[in-house]
Amino acid sequence: MDPECRGGPATDVFFVTMTPKVLAGAVLAYVYNGLLTRFPLRCARELYLRGYLGQFGRGTSVQMGCRFLNGRRVHFGAHNAIGFDCLFDGRIYDIRTGANVSIGPEATVLTLGHDPLSGDFRDKGGPVTIGDRVWIGYRALILPGVTIGEGAVIGAGAVVTRDVEPYAIMAGVPARKTGDRPRNLKYQLDFKPILL
């Protein structure tokens, strides 16, 4: 847990103490999420993201409209293709992607939520790990604490609530296995639109 975050008395509820580091993070997030995310030059956005995110792998592309909650906890591997209007929630826990990951438009990756069984609305979450050559479809939702194995496919609109085995094809709400992807994947993503 970050030193700026601590539990309240006799609970697991987190709150953030305003420190210079937290304030700086909030300003960095505002600059990107409020201003730069809709700037129509990919190279300008990527220049900012290289300094703002925890990792921005070589050959990775992020389209317009993507938002980051605590970008320092978002780590993109090499040659990722991130579609427009995605949300990456790194407020408390890390999000890590492998190489050649394709994340479709409007997908959401969450690391923090609330425990619905908690009488005092406790926070509940965990890191999200996405393996090499994973393909996540349009408007998919990845919930906290999930690991998606190498080469897996997450169908459009699917809600991933638990770990996904390598090369599994998942679809539905909640996501269930519908098939297997071939294991001989060799592609390298190189999606770099100029104005997106």
Reply yes or no on whether the pLDDT at 5 is more than 80: no
Q: What is the pTM for the complete model shown?
A: 0.89
- Cα–Cα distance measured from residue 42 to residue 66, given in angstroms and rounded to the nearest whole number: 12
Give the up-direction half-sphere exposure of residue 95: CA atoms within 13 A in the CB hemisphere. 23
Reply yes or no on whether the pLDDT at 9 is more than 70: no
Is the peptide bond preceding residue 9 cis, with omega within 30 degrees of 0? Answer: no
Cβ atoms of 142 and 148 within 8 Å: the answer is yes
Q: pLDDT averaged over the chain?
A: 91
How confident is the model at residue 179, as a pLDDT? Answer: 98
Strands across the sheet containing 87-89: 67-69, 87-89, 108-109, 141-142, 159-160
Q: What is the pLDDT of residues 99-142, one digit of tens each?
A: 999 999 999 999 999 999 999 999 999 999 999 999 999 999 99
Catalytic residues, by residue number, are: 114
Q: What is the DSSP letter of 37?
A: G
